[in-house]
A and B are shown apart, each in its own frame.
Chain A
Amino acid sequence: MDPRCRRTMLTRVKSAVANFMGGMMAGGSNGDHPGGSDLPLKFPYSRPEFLGLSPDEIECSADHIARPILILKETKRLPWSTGYAEVINAGKSTLNEDQACCEVLVVKRRPAGTDGSEDLTLHYWALFDGHAGSGAAVVASRLLHHHIALHLQEVMEILCTPNLLPPTSSLRGAAGAPGSPSTPPTRFFTEKKVSHESLVIGAIENAFKDMDVQIEKEKAVYNISGGCTALVAVYLLGKLYVGNAGDSRAIIIRAGEVIPMSAEFTPESERQRLQFLAYMQPHLLGNEFTHLEFPRRVQRKEVGKKMLYRDFTMSGWAYKTIEEDDLKFPLIYGEGKKARVLATIGVTRGLGDHNLKVHDSNIYIKPFLSCCPEVRAYPLGQCEHGANDVLVLGTDGLWDVLSNQEVAEAVTCFLSNCDPDDQHRYTMAAQDLVMRARGVLKDRGWRISNDRLGSGDDISVYIIPLMYGNKQN
């Protein structure tokens, strides 16, 4: 590459980073693509429906100076006495780009009229963390659960028959006529046995995919800005499922011990998948990036010399002779929270972002950003749970500053000091947790315990007591 090009490239990437961050700073609700803003919004910006806020209250909630912690109103209750609290960022965007949804859905047999005894009840909690606008997060918070219900409806006959292994071919005829669950087709012993649990997992996975496709399609007629991560918890037939696409996190705290229920998807955690995709489809890099990783940017004078590198096949490091091609900007660059894919985005799974490109280029981010969640199942009904055993869901604003252990200690300690009959205890625990992560504004910014930096990000937290799941059956 001619050095002038390289300089252009460097400038471009620098300004890409600046632009992305600048976009975050300016933070307008439609801080993305020109052209899309003429279209109407699919849903207006709001806070989670269950908070029941008036426009005046929403205005107050966006105070970046005092950063009020919003909780459920005294008169409102979520299923299972779930606690919820949220706070807006310290100024990086005008609006709170996190969204949340909590619903109890009843999935009915498709041919209506048949006896209702086999209705499936689905408990659903979800958090979405938007970026580059709030559109995708708002849309996903309003619609994702419907996609999940739709996919569960397709398999509910099987799910409602405990002794029936999912038949390899559908129970229904091609026309959708109901077959008889009692006479599954003959099984061959070589067939793979599929559990009910994996049918639910498959339903959640496909719901994420459908949600993403819907956002893509509706962008033609609506202004759906940006993208979002999605973290959902679903309780169904005695089991708890946690699906995660992004960098939010879920943990179970049981008898004070932490059980992780999700793992974050970041440029670092997904390096090999991203590198492999770029290796297989080099055109996705637009001839401006290299899929290889180096410990630092390679300099022109280093061509011909040996340097440490990693390819998609490696978790360790080796040496290679630097070639001209290695001078391109790395696909994954930066460390920790600052790591970016294509110098643009710091999260590698989520919904939306279909129009997101590398700044001043025609390189799309989306092929690298996957909407596929990782779903984990927890056999809730098979475990005993006390009043202090909870599932904690939080956006990265929480986990950036508090470890799993700190969260577990804080929640356990708070709940043990509560009146066990207090209906608001889980909400107060959520408020306490958000307060611990936000901290207090001092001369040198927001500070938490031990004078550490508090989170300047949007923070949203659910605290879901698991004992209600034991009572459910």
Chain B
Amino acid sequence: MAYAYLFKYIIIGDTGVGKSCLLLQFTDKRFQPVHDLTIGVEFGARMITIDGKQIKLQIWDTAGQESFRSITRSYYRGAAGALLVYDITRRDTFNHLTTWLEDARQHSNSNMVIMLIGNKSDLESRREVKKEEGEAFAREHGLIFMETSAKTASNVEEAFINTAKEIYEKIQEGVFDINNEANGIKIGPQHPTTNSTLSGSQGGQQPGGGCC
């Protein structure tokens, strides 16, 4: 399907915080209470609209387990956005954020937009991490922040879309070099090239199933 831009996302965070469930809720609008452990990388995709433009989100869902860390690390490259997820009912997943953030900063491009997500907001009674703590961590490290529930779908759309809005704004500001695919952004087949007088009607060049 035609799109103006493609943004590549990566979802990271400790095992069991709900990364795969967030993805499933976002792409398929359903919740799967029992989910197999992700042991490699899984992919999802969905089209969204920002500023009247079709944007394809390509989302890489990674394994959270320590033993897969070196593989996960190798997937930061070429991502425009990252969802860094912790579980509000497990303090340790919040404590590990610094390590995840270090990893992300070290292995991604410096402009990558990072959204901090406190997931499982439906489990208020078992909450171990206050919302204010998440907000403070995000403020301190320059991240966007939201609490979500993959189960009730609360804020899930917003988390993915707000990240895209931030990336889109950075493109408008010229922060991203959109011609460098290592930034995780690809221009769609029908997007008129900058400084071009072409009418943009020459689309349809997109190779099916080509590289991203």
Binding site for B on A (CB under 8 A): 45, 55-71, 73-75, 85, 94-95, 424, 427-428, 431, 435, 440-441
- Given A57-B43, A69-B41, verify A62-B209 contact (CB < 8 Å): yes
A440 to B209, CA, bound (A): 25
In the complex, the answer to whether A66 meets B210 with C-beta atoms within 8 Å is no
Q: Which residues of A contact B75 (CB under 8 A)?
A: 66, 68
Given the complex of chains A and B, what is the CA–CA distance between A75 and B38 in angstroms? 11
Main secondary structure of the interface of B (DSSP, over half): loop
- Ranked nearest first, the 4 interchain pairs of A and B with the lowest CB-CB distance are A74-B36, A65-B78, A56-B45, A60-B43
Contact A440 B36 (CB under 8 A): no
**Chain B positions within 8 Å of A94 at CB level:** 207, 210-211
Is B30 in the interface zone, CB < 8 Å from A?
Answer: no
Q: Is the CB of B207 within 8 A of A440?
A: no
Most B CB contacts (10 A, CB to CB) among A57, A68, A85, A424 go to: A68
In the bound complex, residues from chain A placing their C-beta under 8 Å from that of B77 are: 65-66, 441
Excluding A59-B58, A73-B42, 15 further A-B contacts by CB distance (< 8 Å) are A56-B44, A59-B209, A59-B210, A59-B212, A60-B58, A62-B211, A66-B60, A66-B77, A70-B40, A71-B40, A74-B37, A75-B36, A95-B209, A95-B211, A424-B39
* Interface residue ranges of B30-63 to A (CB < 8 Å): 36-45, 58, 60
Using CB atoms, name the residue of chain A closest to B45. A56
Q: Answer whether residue B143 sits at the interface, using C-beta atoms and an 8 A cutoff.
A: no
Q: Does B70 contact A (CB under 8 A)?
A: yes
Given A62-B211, A431-B71, the answer on whether A68 and B182 have CB atoms closer than 8 Å is no
Within 8 A of A (CB), among B183-199: none
User: What residue in chain A is nearest B36 (Cβ atoms)?
Assistant: A74
When distances are taken between beta carbons in the complex, the residues of chain B under 8 Å from A58 are 209
Q: Which residues from B are CB-within-8-Å of A63?
A: 8, 78, 211-212
- Tell me whether B181 is interfacial, beta carbon within 8 Å: yes
- Is A69's CB under 8 angstroms from B71's CB? yes
Q: How many residues of B contact A (CB 8 A)?
A: 29
Give Cα A166–Cα B44 distance, bound, in whole angstroms. 54
Q: Give Cα distance in the complex from A70 to B71, angstroms.
A: 11
Does any Cβ of A come within 8 Å of B74's Cβ? yes
* Chain A min CB distance to B112 (Å): 13
A55: which B residues are within 8 A, CB to CB?
Answer: 209
How many angstroms from the CA of A443 to the CA of B75 in the assembled complex?
A: 16
Among A62, A63, A69, chain B packs the most CB atoms within 10 A around the CB of: A63
Nearest residue in B to A29 (C-beta to C-beta)?
A: B207
Residue picked from A65, A67, A428, A440, most chain B C-beta under 10 Å = A65
Within 8 A of A (CB), among B139-179: none
Residues of B within 8 A of A66 (CB): 60, 74-79
Using an 8 Å CB-CB cutoff, how does the interface string of B74-96 with A read, 1 for contact, 0 for none?
11111100000000000000000
Can you name 28 A-B residue pairings with CB atoms under 8 Å?
Answer: A56-B44, A56-B45, A59-B58, A59-B211, A60-B45, A61-B43, A62-B209, A62-B211, A62-B212, A65-B77, A65-B181, A66-B79, A68-B40, A68-B75, A71-B39, A73-B42, A74-B37, A75-B36, A94-B210, A94-B211, A95-B211, A424-B39, A427-B39, A431-B39, A431-B40, A440-B70, A440-B73, A441-B74
Is B70's CB under 8 angstroms from A69's CB?
Answer: no
- Determine the chain B residues whose CB is within 8 A of the CB of A64 once the complex forms: 211
A69 touches B43 (CB 8 A): no
Q: Which residue of A is nearest B10, CB measured?
A: A66
> Are A56 and B181 closer than 8 Å at their CB atoms?
no
